[in-house]
Structure 1
C-alpha cells in the first residue's frame, strides 16, 4: 500500500503527537479529592470509591446503559455487549486507536454514544461508562462527552472531574464552579477551590485559601507560582514567564490564559483544541482547531465551513492557502458555472489532501459536484469526491464509469464487486472482504460467546492495522462489519481505503 494513507493517518494526530498522545486520564485536572490521591484536606468530605463488582437487579437502571443515541437509531442491537465482562469491554474501548479512517471513527463514536444494555457477565458499575467518556475526551468530542456525563449525573467525583474539565475547555467555568459549590460530597482540591473563589469574585477568600494550602503542603511549588500570579495581576506582569508545564491540565491551561501566558493548543491533546473554538480566540487559531476536530469527525462539516468562510484571508501560505482555495470553490459552486468549478476544484482538493480533510470537504460538496455537468479530469475528480461523502450510493448510481477503476469504485459503493476484476492487492483484499463467508477465528469465537461488541471493537482495530498496510486485516474487518449488518461502514471503509491513498 502506498504511503499516502499512512500520511493521512499521521495528520490526524496533529503536530504534538511526535510522541504517544496522552490519554484523557493523564491530563485531567486534579480538581476533586479522591481516595487514591491521599490529599483529603481537613474539613473536606471524603469521597466514595467506585463501586465494587455488583449484580444489578432486573429492572434497575445502570450507569453503563446511559447513552445519547437509542440503539435502533445507532443501528446497533441493544444487547451488543451480551455476555461480556465490563473490565474486558472497558479495556477494549480504552485501547481503541484514535488515528484511524473516518468511517471507523464514526462507528466508534456511535458505539460510545449508544444506549446499550450493560453486559451480563462480571460487572463493575459505571466502568464502561467511564471508558466511553474518556475515549470521547481522547478524540476531542467534548460536547458529546459533556452531554453523556450530564445524562448520567456528575455526582460521583470521577464523573464530576471530567465534567469540570470539559466546562473549563468550553468556556463554561463559572457554571462548573457553581456546580462544585452546590454539589454535596464533591470536595474540591485547593487549586480548584482557589480558582473558583477567584472566578466568583471572592479574591480575599481565594488568597487566604492559598496561604492555608501552602502551610498544609497541599499545593506544589509550580501550583503555588501559577496561583499566586492568577490572584495577583501585578505579580504576573513583573515576574519572568513561568516554564511550560510538561502535562498541563485544563485548569492550568485556563489559568495560564488568564495571566497572559497562554499555551498553544496545537501542542496539547486534541480536547484542548475545543478551547480555541471560542470567539475570544483569533481566526487562525480557530481555523487550526476546527480542522483538527473535523479530522476526527467530532466537528460537523458545516461548522468547519462557517469558520473557513468567516472572512477573506489577509495572508498567504499554510492554512491561508487552503482557506483561499476553499472559498474559491465555494464561490464557483454558488455561481453554478461548471468551468469556474473545474478551474477551482483541483487546487482546493490538493489542499484538502495535504491537510487530511478530504471527507469533510466531500460531505460539504460531494453531492453538489456530482450533479454538475463537468467533463474530463474535473468529472473524474468530482466522482471520487462524491464517493467519499455520505451520498456515495447515489453518486455511484448516477455515474457512467469511464474505466475499469471507476467501475470497481462504483461496485464498492453498491456492494457489487463479485464480477469485477481487482487491479491491485488492495482491491483484491477489499473484494475478498465482500465475498468472505467465514470470520476470523478470534472474532467468530466472541460472536459465538454472545460478545458481539468486543468483536466489533476488534474489527475497528483490524481496519486501522489494515489501513497501515496489513491487507489481511482489511479483509477480516470488512467481513465482520458485514456479518454484523454494518453494510454502510463496510462500503465507506472500502472506498476510503481506495481513495484516501491516492496521493500523487
Structure 2
C-alpha cells in the first residue's frame, strides 16, 4: 500500500522516461544467463588437506541478490519503472551529490515537473557511487524526501534497508513519530540499545513499553550529567510527572521543534499548531484529529509541493460543507460549487463556477493539482470564452498537454498559441512579448537538443543522476531570471531523453508566470 500511494503521488507530477536503446526490446532482467541451468561443482578434497570446520552447526548466512545495490543505492522504484539506468550515480563523487541534495532540501524546484523528477531520483533503485562507503548518500536521499513532506515514501524507503545504523535510526525515528508508527522502532531499540545515544528518545521509548521507572532513571541521570537541553529537561519532566504539569504555566513553544518535542507537547496537552512549523509536520494533520481547517491547511501545503496527490486534496476539500467564509473557506466553497455545476451539466453554471474557482486556486498555488482533477471534464463542454481559455490552460497542465496543444496551432490568443507550440515540442511561430521567459523557452526547441558542455559528457561517465540534478539547478537559475540557464536546462533534459519532463516544465513555468502576473 505504501508503494501504491507513492506511485499515485509521483503520477500526479512528471514521470521521467530515460531514452533507452531502440534495439533493447527485452526488459533489463531478460538476459541469457538467467535461463541457463546452473549446477554446483562437486566438493573436492585436495590430498593431505584436513577439513577446517570445527563443528557441524549451520552458520549464520547473510543473503543478498547478486545485482542488489549497496545500502546507499536501495530504492523503491526499479529501473524497469523509472526508465533510469542502474548506473545513475556510479561514477559520481558521493560528497558532491550529498552537497547538492542538501541544497535542494530548502530550495525546492519551482515547477511540479522537476519536483517530480527530483523525487523519483531519490526513490530510484540504483548503484551508489563507486567511492561510497556507509549510508551517507541514503541518509541524504531520505532526508530530502522528509524535508519535502514525502514522509510516507521516506519511511517506506527506510523499511527496505533491513539493519539500521545509528545515523539512520535517528532519521527513521523522526519519520515514525510524524506518522505515529514509532512503536516498532522503540521495540527495536529495546533489543539494540546502541542504536541511539539520544536520551529523550530512550525516555520516550521506555514509556512506550510501560517502564516508567526506567524512563525516570534515564531522565534523572541525564539532568545530573547535564546531557539534556533546558527545553527537553522541562518538557520531559512534565511528560513524566503529570501532577507537576498541572501546577505550572504552559510552556513557550519552540520555533523549530523536533518531531519528538512535537509529540511531547501533544502528550502534555499543549499540542502545537503545524501551520508555522516546517512542512513535514503538516503530515500529522492529515488524520483530521485537530479539525477540518487544520487538515485543509495541511493538505494544501503538501499538495502545493507534490507531497500528496490531487485526489487526496479533493477528498479533504469535499469532506464537509464550509461553515464560515473568507480565506480558505471561500476556496473550498468555490471548488465544491464547481463540482456541483459539473454534476448538473449546465454549461453556463460550469463557466461561472470555473471563472470563480480558478483565481482561488491560483492564489493558493494549486493550479496544477486542480487541473489534474478537473481539466479532462471541462474539455468538451461549450463554455464561455473566458472559461474556455481557463479550461484550455488547465488541460496544458495535465498528462493530456500534447493533445490540448495540438488544437492551439491557429488560436487567435497569442499566449495560448505559444503554449501550444511548447506542448507539441515545435518551434513557436511568434513569441509573446509580455510572457516572461518566452524567448528562453522557445530557444530550447529551435535546434536539436544538446546539453551544455559541462553536462554533456556526464551520462557516459555513469553520472546521469548528477547531470539531472545540475539541470534542475540550471532551470531554477533560469526561472529566477537567467534566460541562458533556462534554455540550457531544457536542452539538457531533452538531450538526456526526458522530452516529456522538459515540455511539462516549460509549460508549467510559462503558465504559472502568466497566471502569477494576474494576481
1:242 equivalenced with 2:254 (yes/no): no
Quote the Cα distance in structure 2 between the aligned partners of 1:89 and 1:69: 19
Structure 1 unmatched runs, 5+: 1-56
In the TM superposition, residue 194 of structure 1 has moved relative to its aligned partner by 1.5
* Pair 1:253 & 2:265 matched: no
Runs (4 or more) in structure 1 with deviation over 3 Å come to 57-61, 182-185, 397-400, 445-450
Q: Does 1:85 align with 2:93?
A: yes
- Residue 103 of structure 1: aligned partner: 113
Counterpart Cα distance in 1 of 2:235 and 2:428: 67
- 1:127 and 1:436 mapped to 2: Cα distance? 40
Aligned partner of 1:317 in structure 2 is 326
Partner of 1:435: 446
8 A contact 1:133–1:145 mirrored in 2? yes
Matches within 5 A, 1:170-209: 170-183=179-192, 185-209=194-218
Deviation at 1:64, TM superposition (A): 2.1
What is the root-mean-square deviation of aligned Cα atoms in Å? 2.1
Quote the Cα distance in structure 1 between the aligned partners of 2:119 and 2:186. Answer: 29
The equivalent of 2:228 in structure 1 is 219
Q: Secondary structure, in 3 states, of the residue corresponding to 1:118? A: coil
Measured in 2, the distance between the counterparts of 1:299 and 1:230 equals 33
- Contact 1:171–1:278 under 8 Å retained in 2: no
How far apart, CA to CA, are the structure 2 residues paired with 1:62 and 1:392?
39
Tell me if 1:210 matches 2:222.
no
Identify the residue that residue 477 of structure 2 maps to in structure 1.
Answer: 465
Classify 1:61/1:106 alpha carbon distance in 2 versus 1 (closer, same or farther; 3 Å): closer
Pair 1:187–1:497, CA change in 2 (3 A): closer
Question: What is the distance in 1 between the residues matched to 2:458 and 2:71?
Answer: 24
Alpha-carbon shift at residue 419 of structure 1 (Å): 5.2
Give 1:136 shift.
0.5
Q: Deviations over 1:16-46 (max 9, x none)?
A: xxxxxxxxxxxxxxxxxxxxxxxxxxxxxxx
Larger radius of gyration: 2
Indicate how the Cα distance of structure 1 residues 59 and 106 shifts in structure 2: closer, same or farther if over 3 A, else same.
closer
- When residues 128 and 379 of structure 1 are mapped into structure 2, their CA distance, relative to the original with a 3 A threshold, is same
Partner Cα separation in structure 1 for residue 343 and residue 437 of structure 2: 37
Once the two structures are TM-superposed, the CA of residue 245 in structure 1 deviates from its matched residue by 2.1
State the match for 1:494 in structure 2: 506
Kindly tell me: are residues 173 and 60 of structure 1, through their superposed partners in 2, closer, same or farther at Cα, counting changes over 3 Å?
closer
CA contact (8 A) 2:451 2:493 kept: no
- Structure number with greater CO (CA < 8 Å, separation at least 6) is 1
TM-score (norm 2): 0.82
Whether 1:328 and 2:340 are equivalent positions in the alignment is no
What CA deviation, in whole Å up to 9, does each residue of 1:169-217 have, x standing for no partner?
Answer: 1122333322322346424532112212223333333223322322233
Checking the alignment, whether the CA contact within 8 Å between 1:190 and 1:209 is kept in structure 2 is yes
Structure 1 position 151 matched with structure 2 position 163? no
What residue in structure 2 maps to residue 270 of structure 1? 279
Match status 1:279 vs 2:288: yes
- TM-fit CA distance, 1:130: 1.4
- Kindly indicate whether the alpha-carbon contact (under 8 Å) linking 1:168 and 1:176 is maintained by their aligned counterparts in 2: no
Q: Does 1:412 align with 2:411?
A: no
Secondary structure, counterpart of 1:68 in structure 2: coil
| Alignment check: 8 A CA contact 2:170 2:196 kept | no
Q: Give the superposition deviation at 1:118.
A: 2.0
In the TM superposition, residue 382 of structure 1 has moved relative to its aligned partner by 0.4
Partner of 1:266, secondary structure, is: coil
Counting matched residue pairs gives 447
Distance 1:190 1:81 in 2: 36
The alpha carbon displacement at 1:448 in A equals 5.5
**Aligned equivalents of 1:312, 1:496: Cα separation in 2:** 31
Summarize the alignment of residues 41-120 of structure 1 with structure 2, pairs less than 5 Å apart: 61-96=69-104, 97-120=107-130
SS in 2 for 1:227: helix
